[in-house]
């Protein structure tokens, strides 16, 4: 059994749906896929995408991203949309709760972003004027912190598991997972990228690997004993552009590579 990861499939683009259909229907039937959010906002496309993935993999673990919670002109709010997505997952057989993957446990963690993720206060607030979440997400009137709401949903999952733990979230749990503002095209991204409180949950779980999404800036590095991985399926980028749709995070070769990274990280720490 191997474990693969991907995020940000954005299958509301026809080109991404074509790419997804090209994933082998036979090569991954004994494997596990971890999907770190942002499939689409249309429930019909989310349904199609999750069913397609479920038909190709032995098991699929998933957390919704911000795009799934867009409601546009719908009558429901974003929390009800979130619940609709979770009900759809239950119907299809997609795991949104902790579950085993061989000797490992995979623990999905729900999340949202907080402005204090921008710890140095360097992000450009003015660049957020067109940020779609501000227009397409709708929260209950009585709701306080959106980030806290989702983090609180994880509390019952924070416990000891009898095997190595792999966690996943859509949003970023550490500032180091994002480049410095001067290297970003979207200078406001740190204000809408992550929540540092999420990393406390990851470490309370003693996770060995954490898979995240959202940034579209691929990442694979061990930080303070945890391997952080981001592999975006990504937006279409025109004719001639290609990218591996998935990244393998566990299996014979991937495990050897992980061990090598841990050795290098330990050496650097010394």
The residue extents of the domains of the chain are 3-269
Can you give the pLDDT at residue 63? 98
Whose CA is closest to 220, among 160, 157, 176, 188?
Answer: 176
Question: Contact, 51 vs 92, CB < 8 A?
Answer: yes
The whole-angstrom distance between residue 226's C-alpha and the CA centroid of its chain comes to 16
Burial code (b: 16+ CB inside 10 Å, e: under 16) for 19-43 equals: bbeebeeeebeebbbbbbbbbbbee
Can you give the pLDDT at residue 252? 62
pTM: 0.92
Torsion of CA 189, 86, 151, 114, to 10 degrees: 20
Can you give the pLDDT at residue 239? 66
| Domain 3-269: assigned CATH number | 3.60.21
pLDDT in tens, the chain (270 residues): 999 999 999 999 999 999 999 999 999 999 999 999 999 999 999 999 999 999 999 999 999 999 999 998 878 999 999 999 999 999 999 999 999 999 999 999 999 999 999 988 999 999 999 999 999 999 999 999 999 999 999 999 999 999 999 999 999 999 999 999 999 999 999 999 999 999 999 999 999 999 999 999 999 999 999 999 999 999 988 766 678 999 999 996 554 344 444 434 444 443
């Amino acid at each position: 059994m191997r474990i693969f990861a991907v995020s940000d499939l954005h299958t509301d683009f026809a080109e991404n749906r074509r790419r997804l259909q090209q994933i082998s229907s036979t090569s991954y039937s004994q494997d596990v896929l971890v999907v770190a959010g942002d499939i689409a906002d249309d429930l019909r496309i989310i349904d199609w995408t999750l069913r397609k993935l479920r038909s190709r993999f032995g098991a699929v673990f998933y957390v919704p991203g911000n795009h799934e919670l867009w409601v546009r002109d719908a009558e429901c709010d974003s929390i009800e949309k979130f619940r609709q997505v979770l009900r759809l997952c239950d119907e299809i057989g997609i795991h949104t709760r902790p579950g085993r993957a061989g000797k490992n446990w995979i623990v999905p963690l729900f999340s949202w972003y907080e402005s204090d993720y921008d710890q140095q206060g360097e992000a450009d607030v003015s660049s957020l004027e067109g940020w779609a979440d501000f227009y397409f997400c709708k929260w209950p009137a009585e709701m306080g912190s959106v980030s806290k709401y989702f983090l609180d949903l994880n509390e019952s999952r924070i416990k000891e598991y009898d095997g190595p733990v792999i966690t996943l979230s859509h949003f970023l749990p550490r500032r180091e997972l994002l480049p410095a503002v001067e290297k970003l095209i979207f200078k406001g991204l740190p204000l809408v990228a992550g929540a540092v409180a999420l990393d406390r949950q990851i470490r309370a779980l003693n996770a060995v690997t954490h898979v995240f999404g959202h940034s579209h800036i691929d990442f694979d590095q061990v930080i303070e004993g945890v391997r952080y991985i981001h592999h975006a399926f990504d937006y279409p980028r025109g004719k001639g552009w290609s990218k591996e749709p998935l990244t393998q995070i566990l299996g014979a070769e991937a495990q050897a590579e992980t061990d090598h990274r841990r050795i290098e990280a330990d050496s650097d720490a010394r």
